[in-house]
């Protein structure tokens, strides 16, 4: 995030030209700030804490966002390197069969959506409000590489009937024919991972796809993407389990076997695109001052993703968390969970 109210920013194309301060100086400055903040926390009175505490808490959660973004940026940089270097070596996962996909039906009803109560949440998760949700069915797990490959082999990237107009144009301009980091070599599909190039594992969730690709796949599959309210209704009753940054995989894992009445892999592994535009909840008001720029000014031309990924800190995610990216973005660990109308 950036704060125009604080001052002018250096233009993005010029930032790579900055050779000072050095990395060592940046680390020393960070240590200086940490030391003085810890001293301040030891002696702060309640009045000052009430004013500054929420800002510090926001800063900690903002840093967690960048822990994820650093890894996705490293992958984007390494993935464009002809040598395809590994960031962290690890053994390849054994080939396993994907868990069967089932449809879990949710009845129509009025639901509370958004965050309320104790615990941190970003301002875009509030205010908590009621939404009527029509009956729907949600897939028990994310779409796999094998399922997405069937879309590719059926000519999905060359069939405009499945694509939104802007998505079709983006596909043509960018030359998309498969997810980001996939490449076809020796009659096999390979994908670049943070452990280096690996054969595409059919059972893993497909990742690094745009909203346009996710929406096209859903149409091809005779389904659709869930709304963010549907996703939250399905996820809210369940604990936060999945693969996160702490697991050190930095790559999605095959989904576990589905449970009787519960979708699996809702949290971690891949962010799941929804069909919901990123917009303010009813009654939303940005905070006063520069902090009001954190989320509200981005509520245009973006789509909502839910659930976290394999590089999200576990303590950072919750059922009400709203991530958002432009519909053409592919560099995040973004995937697909299908939904259907129930008539």
In this predicted model, what pLDDT tens digit does every residue of 294-316 receive, in sequence order?
888 999 999 999 999 999 999 99
Q: Where do the domains of the chain lie, and which CATH numbers do they carry?
A: 103-341 (3.90.1580.10)
Strands (E), the chain: 103-106, 109-113, 129-133, 136-139, 182-185, 188-193, 196-199, 271-277, 303-306, 323-325, 334-335, 339-341
Amino acid 207: pLDDT: 99
Give the span between the Cα atoms of 205 and 222, in whole angstroms. Answer: 19
* Measured distance CA(316)–CA(307) in Å, rounded: 10
- How many CB atoms are closer than 10 A to CB 239? 7
Q: What does DSSP assign to residue 259? A: B
Provide CB contacts within 8 A for 114, sequence distance 6+: 125, 126, 127, 128, 129, 281, 320
Enter the tokens of residue 319.
């059922």
Which among 67, 93, 124, 18 is positioned nearest to 246, based on CA atoms? 67
In the structure encoding, which two tokens stand for residue 109, read together? 């009803």
Integer Cα distance of 269 and 335 in angstroms: 9
Q: Compute the Cα dihedral for 285, 313, 63, 303 and give only its sign.
A: negative
To the question of pTM greater than 0.85 for the whole model, the response is yes
- The pair phi, psi for residue 223, each rounded to 5°, is -135, -155
- pLDDT score recorded for residue 1: 56
Residue 41: count of CB within 10 angstroms of its CB: 12
Predicted local confidence at residue 9, as pLDDT: 84
Closest to 264 (Cα-Cα) out of 138, 108, 115, 135: 138
At 75, which helix (H) or strand (E)? helix 46-79
In this structure, what DSSP letter does residue 254 have?
P
Listed as ranges, residues in the chain with pLDDT below 70 are 1-2
Q: Can you say whether the dihedral through the CA atoms of 150, 154, 155, 161 is positive or negative? A: negative
Alpha helices (H) in 164-245, listed in sequence order: 165-174, 211-220, 228-235
């Amino acid at each position: 995030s950036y704060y125009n109210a604080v001052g002018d920013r250096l233009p993005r194309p010029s930032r790579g030209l900055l050779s000072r301060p050095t990395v060592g100086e940046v680390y020393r400055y960070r240590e200086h700030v940490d030391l003085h903040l810890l001293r301040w926390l030891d002696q702060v009175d309640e009045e000052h804490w009430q004013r500054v505490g929420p800002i510090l808490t926001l800063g900690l959660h903002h840093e967690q966002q960048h822990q994820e973004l650093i890894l996705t940026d490293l992958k984007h940089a390494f993935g464009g390197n002809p040598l395809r270097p590994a960031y962290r070596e690890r053994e390849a996962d054994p080939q396993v069969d994907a868990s069967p996909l089932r449809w879990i039906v949710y009845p129509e009803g009025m639901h509370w959506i958004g965050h309320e109560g104790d615990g941190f949440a970003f301002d875009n998760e509030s205010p908590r409000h009621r939404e009527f949700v029509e009956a729907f069915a949600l897939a028990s797990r994310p779409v796999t590489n094998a399922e997405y490959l069937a879309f590719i082999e059926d000519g999905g990237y060359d069939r405009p009937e499945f694509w939104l107009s802007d998505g079709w144009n983006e596909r043509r301009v960018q030359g998309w024919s498969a997810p980001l980091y996939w490449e076809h070599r020796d009659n096999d599909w390979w994908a670049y991972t943070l452990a280096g190039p690996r054969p595409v594992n059919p059972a893993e969730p497909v990742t690094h796809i745009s909203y346009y690709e996710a929406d096209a796949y859903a149409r091809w599959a005779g389904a659709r993407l869930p709304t963010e309210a549907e996703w939250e209704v399905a996820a809210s009753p369940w604990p936060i389990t999945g693969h996160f940054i702490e697991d050190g995989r930095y790559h999605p894992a095959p989904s576990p076997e589905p449970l009787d009445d519960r979708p699996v892999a809702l949290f971690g592994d891949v962010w799941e695109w929804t069909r919901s535009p990123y917009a303010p909840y009813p009654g939303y008001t940005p905070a006063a001052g520069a902090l009001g720029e954190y989320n509200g000014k981005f509520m245009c031309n973006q789509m909502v993703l839910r659930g976290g990924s394999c590089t999200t800190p576990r303590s950072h995610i919750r059922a009400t968390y709203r991530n958002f990216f432009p519909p053409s973005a592919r560099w995040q660990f973004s995937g697909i969970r299908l939904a259907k109308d129930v008539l």
